[in-house]
Amino acid sequence: MNINKKKLLSTVSTAVFAILSLLVLFPVLAGFLASFRPGRELIRRGLSINLDFSTMSFSNYTYLFSWNADSKKYFMWFKNSMVLTLLSVVLTLIICYFVAYGLTMYNYRLKNVLFFLVIATMMVPFEILMLPLYQEMIDLKLIDTTAGVILPGLCSASTIFFFRQYMVSLPKELLDAGRIDGATEFGICVKIMMPLTKPAFAAMGILCAMGSWNNMLWPMMVYRSSHQFTLPIGLNTLLTPYGNNYDLLIAGSMFAILPVLIVFLCFQNYFIEGMTAGAVKG
């Protein structure tokens, strides 16, 4: 291929992605610009890119941080989301790590059966189980509790699967070395193998955190009292037909993306690694 033709192709390909990225960023950009305008304009005009800077101000954001009743409500949701995310990430990672360890590091007859069961849980979409689970939570008196939100998701099949994929390639000789030194099986798992699995923890931690931060359906069913609401549920309650809360809604929505965005920009590779792990061998 001659050089000019290659240059042209390269420019065209890069342009394809530039246009695509612009299209993708468009709604977020429109939302971002709208967050500097009065919320009632969203009701009156819908959302569009509007570059009329004269009507823009920081008033939605000053309102968001004004620490009045609305602002306090918003940051309560924010705090609830933080706590829920932190709790569910820490517990999910630890439990899934142990399960994956049990499914990888030993040879026993039921191993493949157990692994098959893990995969089987992926075959039923959560949406089908949510109704009986909801009933179960009522029976167990776990409705309106954080335990009720977190417990059903702790043994996440995809997280177990990812840990397993990662651990299969770790040297098993280390286990025997540990045994000779007199470590317990649990000690080997925690003190020897866990540090070697750090990258998997990072990748899965970030992915779980994002999932939990954005999770809406199940928390919305479990939480009933408004002081428990997380960001997605809380923002959803602002969507009244009267639109009297759109100032808070639009600024709050943009601010809610920020934590995930920061984490993403810092750990972009972990995101991609964690997400695509199942696709190649799975």
Partner 1 sequence: MKIKRIFYSQKAAPFLFVLPFLLSFTVFWIYPLFSTVKMSFQSILPGQIEWIGLTNYEKLLKDTTFHTAIRNSLTYMFFSIALLIPFPMFFAVLMDSNLVKAKGLWKGALYLPALTSVVISGTLFRLMFSELPTGQMNVFLSFLGKAPIPWLKEKGFAMCALLTLCCWRWTGVNMLYFLSGLKSIDTTLYESASIDGASAWNKFRYITIPLLRPTTIYVLTISVYAGLSMFLESFMLWAGNSSPKNIGLTIVGYLYKRGIEKNQMGYASAVGLTLLGMALIINVIQLILNGTFKKEEN
Q: Does 112 bind partner 1 (CB under 8 A)?
A: no
The total of other beta-carbon atoms located within 10 Å of residue 212's CB is: 21
Q: How far apart are CA 151 and CA 131, in angstroms?
A: 15
Q: Which one among 36, 63, 136, 194 touches partner 1, defined by CB under 8 A? A: 136
Is 281 within 8 Å of 213 (Cβ atoms)?
no
Minimum separation from the CB atom of position 170 to partner 1 (A): 15
Measured from the CB atom, is 32 or 65 closer to partner 1? 32
Q: How far apart are CA 158 and CA 222, in angstroms?
A: 23
Measured from the CB atom, is 101 or 166 closer to partner 1? 101
The CB-side HSE value for 203 (13 A sphere, CA atoms) comes to 23
Integer-rounded Cα Rg, in Å, for the chain is 24
Q: Which one among 53, 67, 108, 242 touches partner 1, defined by CB under 8 A? A: 108
- 179-198 residues near partner 1, rule: CB under 8 A: 184-186, 189
SS3 category, 183: coil
Measured from the CB atom, is 50 or 71 closer to partner 1? 50
Minimum separation from the CB atom of position 86 to partner 1 (A): 17
- 35-94 residues near partner 1, rule: CB under 8 A: 42, 44-49
Minimum separation from the CB atom of position 121 to partner 1 (A): 5
Q: How far apart are CA 267 and CA 261, in angstroms?
A: 10
Measured from the CB atom, is 49 or 86 closer to partner 1? 49
Q: Does 114 bind partner 1 (CB under 8 A)?
A: yes
Minimum separation from the CB atom of position 244 to partner 1 (A): 14
Please enumerate in sequence order all residues whose Cβ is within 8 A of that of 88, keeping only pairs 6 or more positions apart, or say none. Answer: 149, 150, 153, 154, 208, 212
Q: Does 155 bind partner 1 (CB under 8 A)?
A: yes
Element (H, E) at 8: helix 3-34
Measured from the CB atom, is 57 or 135 closer to partner 1? 135
Minimum separation from the CB atom of position 66 to partner 1 (A): 22
Dihedral, 261, 263, 268, 273 alpha carbons, nearest 10: -120
- 161-180 residues near partner 1, rule: CB under 8 A: none
- 214-273 residues near partner 1, rule: CB under 8 A: 214, 216-217, 221, 231-232, 235-236, 239, 241, 249, 253, 256-257, 260-261, 264-265, 268, 271-272
For CA atoms 164, 167, 168, 169, the dihedral sign is positive
Is 100 within 8 Å of 167 (Cβ atoms)?
yes
Q: Which one among 56, 82, 129, 170 touches partner 1, defined by CB under 8 A? A: 129
Minimum separation from the CB atom of position 115 to partner 1 (A): 10
Q: How far apart are CA 226 and CA 228, in angstroms?
A: 5
Q: Which one among 77, 162, 201, 213 touches partner 1, defined by CB under 8 A? A: 213
For CA atoms 7, 13, 14, 15, the dihedral sign is positive
